[in-house]
Structure 1
Amino acid sequence: MSVRRELVSSKKVSNISVRLINEQRILQQLYWHGGQTQLTLRNELRLSSPTITQALQAFKETGLVLEGPEVASSGGRKPRLITFNYDAFHSVGVEIRRHHIAVVVTDLRGQVVCERTESLPFENVPAYWRSINRSIHQLVDAAGVRRVLGVGLAFPGELTLDGSAIERAVVLGLRNEPLDNIRQHFDFDVTIENAANTAGFGAVWRAHGLEDAVYLIVTDNGIAGSLIVGSQIFQGTNARRKVGAFGHMVLVPDGKPCFCGGRGCWSAYCALSNLFARSDGDLDQFFRRVREGDPLYQQQWDSYLTYFAQAVGNIRLALDMDIIIGGKIARYLKEYLPLLEEKVVSHPSLQGDSNFLKVDDIEGNSLAIGAALIFVDRLLSGKLPRFPLP
């Protein structure tokens, strides 16, 4: 008798799993492919009409899908388009910096509805985290947003593999901080992710058709990176998540000191601070002088690109993936991308390679936007609880 009950229970769980998977497929189809009729959904996904009807009814109740206009029919009743409602929920992303925070509210496309940057020196004390929570409430209220999926924090540090603690954040002087100590100060579902990972995740999300890429973000202090595989952040298997720490590959043994404590790291040679000496931190001024043909500035830029190409070539040889470059330098680098690629493929093993370098020139807070998109991905993947009714 107990064996029969176990078989029945397993079948029930299996049926529930299949239903949830089918719901995810329908939702993703509408999200990525725009308005579709029920007939199109049935043909594209090879699902039965009752399965589609049941799923759509559940999504309509939560506001995730809407009925669109009627479309032409070859005969009989005209079908209606079913469309994804990108304003049904919103998501929040927060970029944590040493001296300030950037907060964005996005719709389900990842488009920014409103944003704010405010001075807030980092302190790992309850008052700091409560201040961020308060800023989120103020921004959400100003946007007239009612339903928030969650808050993604883009954090400049390394997390443990299980995602339970911040292992180390050198620039913030933080070590071994359990994430629950942070979450308790928020009124929202909160996830915390390495900032370079959120930027890379967002860049691949926006690049339709791209699923695997290396993302590099160039900062004042160095190079950070992430590895996106199958449109997901690749976390590695070590207890400390060090995937994407490309800035600490050694280019010059016993070379310039790096903030990590080592010497000769890529970050030591290609942090933006290397370009600041002559221009007082003004990149516009630096590149204006490069374009004007100033030999000292051109020499410095050429040296910078040579080191950059050496590191990018190593990554391309190791992973054979597209490489996306982001950060403040991205918009300046766009016009020099052919020169950078020429330097990369000068390596004998890369000759003939091409079109693998891209620039992430999104305007605004790319790290915070990527953090917000983590919750959109969870929504589409069925990793969030059932959604509340409006």
Structure 2
Amino acid sequence: MSSQRGAIPTIGVDVGGTSIRAAVVDADGQVLDTAQSPTPRSAPALQGALDRTIRDLLSRNEVGAIGLAVAGFVSEDLGVVRFAPHLPWVGAPVARELGDRLGLPVVLEHDANAAAWAERRFGAATGGGNVVTIAIGTGIGAALLVDGRLYRGSHGVAPELGHLQVVPDGRPCACGKRGCWERYCSGTALVETAIELLAADPSESAVLAAEVARDPGSLTGRRIAGAARDGDRVAERTMADFARWLGLGLAMVADVFDPELMVIAGGVASSAGLFLDDARDHYARALTGAGHRPLARIRITQLGEAAALVGAADLARAALG
């Protein structure tokens, strides 16, 4: 890649289950411009929303390529979305079709891989060799860096940690299984746990019970975190349950991969002050051989919710070569 072409900004797009967030990003990982829209439920509507969001940025910026960070399985050639539990794409050649419509090179990447890459290049995992990134938002995405390189497995889908079953016959998951880790440790899980606790004893809540009574659909993970900061007992218990599941899951991950560092990314990371210390304690106690082996460091994303789109933009830069 020439230095001149490498200096051209690229667009990174984080296509999540709730929103499409896009940004123009320079070669140093700095966000220059942004656009956002809700994520539609149907494939045609999603295509239209994606086009409008990107064209909004193209109307104001010269860019060289587009990278899409997608919450789903991406093919080995980074061109096809095989399956996405929270998106309507199945076997969709998204990169080719979007590139044809916009006239620019397009590459796909799993959103957790993109976030992990961004943290390795510009954030919390700078210089890390063996690193696991856990991206917690609507669900759980995960990424593995081995010796500083993304590991995608034989078919481009590794490591799908959010859909490891932690509770046999547990909560149903959009992937078709029951009891997946993300059903107990995600923004969606926070809402479900809070609703279960409210149903068991609404008198425990000074804030959330009244809100749910007024509008059952108003409850979000962000609102639960805010209520926990305000001392709402149900919200505090919900965050404690989340911390327990996060710590247990991280111990399971460390038993398999033995990383030097685990980075917590995604939207839920913004509330880390409410759960991270407890999660570290649960992790340290649940780890196999606890007390007789080094603990992986656990850090929070430095790039925040921009990590996946910054990583997608940086990975798209390779298309300029």
Work out whether residues 331 and 361 of structure 1, in 8 Å CA contact, stay in contact via their aligned partners in 2.
no
Question: Deviation digits for residues 130-166 of structure 1, max 9, x if unmatched?
Answer: 76456434424424x3xx3311011222122233422
1:234 equivalent among 120, 126, 151? 151
Stretch deviating more after TM superposition (335-344 or 151-160):
335-344
Match of 1:158 among 63, 73, 79: 73
The one-letter amino acid of 1:349's match is G
1:374 Cα deviation after fit = 0.6
- CA–CA distance in structure 2, aligned partners of residues 273 and 118 of structure 1: 20
User: 2: distance between equivalents of 1:286 and 1:135?
Assistant: 29
For 1:149, which of 60, 64, 88 is the aligned residue?
64
Match of residue 181 from structure 2: 266
> Once structures 1 and 2 are overlaid, which stretch shifts more, 103-112 or 173-182?
173-182
Is 2:35 aligned against 1:116?
A: yes
Distance 1:166 1:350, change over 3 A: same
Pairs within 5 Å for 1:42-191:
62=4, 88-97=7-16, 100-119=19-38, 121=40, 123-125=42-44, 129=47, 132-133=50-51, 135-143=53-61, 145=62, 148-178=63-93, 179-191=95-107
> What's the counterpart of residue 367 of structure 1?
308
Q: Given that residues 344 and 350 in structure 1 are in contact (C-alpha distance below 8 angstroms), is that contact kept between their aligned partners in structure 2? A: no
The 3 A distance-change label for structure 1 pair 209 and 173 is: same
Deviations 1:166-219 (A, max 9, x none): 211232232122343343212111111122211121122123222331111112
Q: Deviations over 1:253-288 (max 9, x none)?
A: 222222222122111211222322364434454234
CA distance 1:283–1:269, change in 2 (3 Å): closer
Q: Deviations over 1:324-368 (max 9, x none)?
A: 111111121145322211111113513364451111153453321
1:99, distance to aligned residue in structure 2 (A): 6.1
Query: 1:92–1:152: 8 Å Cα contact kept in structure 2?
Result: yes
Partner residue of 1:298 out of 228, 233, 236: 236
Mapped partners of 1:201, 1:154: distance in 2: 11
Separation in structure 1 between the aligned mates of residue 5 and residue 114 of structure 2, nearest angstrom: 27
In 2 relative to 1, CA 94–288 (structure 1 residues): closer, same or farther, beyond 3 Å? closer
In the alignment, the residues of structure 1 paired with residue 108 and residue 5 of structure 2 have an alpha-carbon distance, to the nearest angstrom, of 27
* Residue 349 of structure 1: aligned partner: 289
Does the C-alpha gap of structure 1 residues 195 and 288 become closer, same or farther in structure 2, counting only changes over 3 Å? closer
* Selected match of 2:113 from 192, 197, 205: 197
Q: Is the contact between residue 65 and residue 320 of structure 2 (CA under 8 Å) also seen in structure 1?
A: no
Q: How many residues align?
A: 292
Q: Where does the alignment leave 5 or more consecutive residues of structure 1 unmatched?
A: 1-23, 25-57, 65-87, 386-390
Matched, 1:333 2:272: yes
CA-to-partner distance for each residue in 1:12-40, whole Å, 9 max, x for gaps? xxxxxxxxxxxx8xxxxxxxxxxxxxxxx
- Relative distance call for 1:343 and 1:135 in structure 2 (3 A) is closer
Deviation at 1:384, TM superposition (A): 4.3
Residues 290/128 of structure 1: CA separation in 2 closer, same or farther (3 Å cut): closer
State the one-letter code of the partner of 1:194: H
Return the alpha-carbon distance in structure 1 between the equivalents of residues 18 and 279 of structure 2.
Answer: 33
- Secondary structure of the structure 2 residue equivalent to 1:250: coil
C-alpha distance in 1 between matches for 2:175 and 2:46: 26
Preserved CA contact (<8 Å) 2:184 2:190: no
Q: Distance in 2 between matches of 1:367 and 1:285?
A: 23
The 3-state SS of whatever aligns with 2:91 is strand
> Structure 2: how far apart are the matches of 1:215 and 1:298?
25
For structure 2, the 5+ residue unaligned runs are: 199-207, 209-217
- Please say if 1:212 is aligned against 2:130: yes
In terms of mean alpha carbon deviation, does 280-289 or 349-358 score higher? 280-289
Task: Show the counterpart of 2:203.
Answer: none
Q: Distance in 1 between matches of 2:225 and 2:48?
A: 41
Tell me by how many angstroms 1:103 deviates. Answer: 1.7
Identity %: 22
Alpha-carbon distance between aligned partners in 2 of 1:168 and 1:63, rounded to the nearest angstrom: 33
**What TM-score, normalized by structure 1, do the two folds share?**
0.67
Per the normalisation by structure 2, the TM-score is: 0.79
**Contact 1:92–1:151 (Cα < 8 Å) also in 2:** yes
* Structure-1 separation of matches of 2:66 and 2:108: 8
Q: Show the 5 A alignment for 1:7-22.
A: none
- Is 1:312 matched with 2:255? no
- Larger relative contact order (CA 8 Å, sep ≥ 6): 2
Letter in 1 for 2:14: E
- Matched residues in 1 for 2:10 and 2:144: separation? 23
Q: Which amino acid aligns with 2:301?
A: D
**SS across alignment from 1:365:** helix
In structure 2, the residue matched to 1:388 is: none
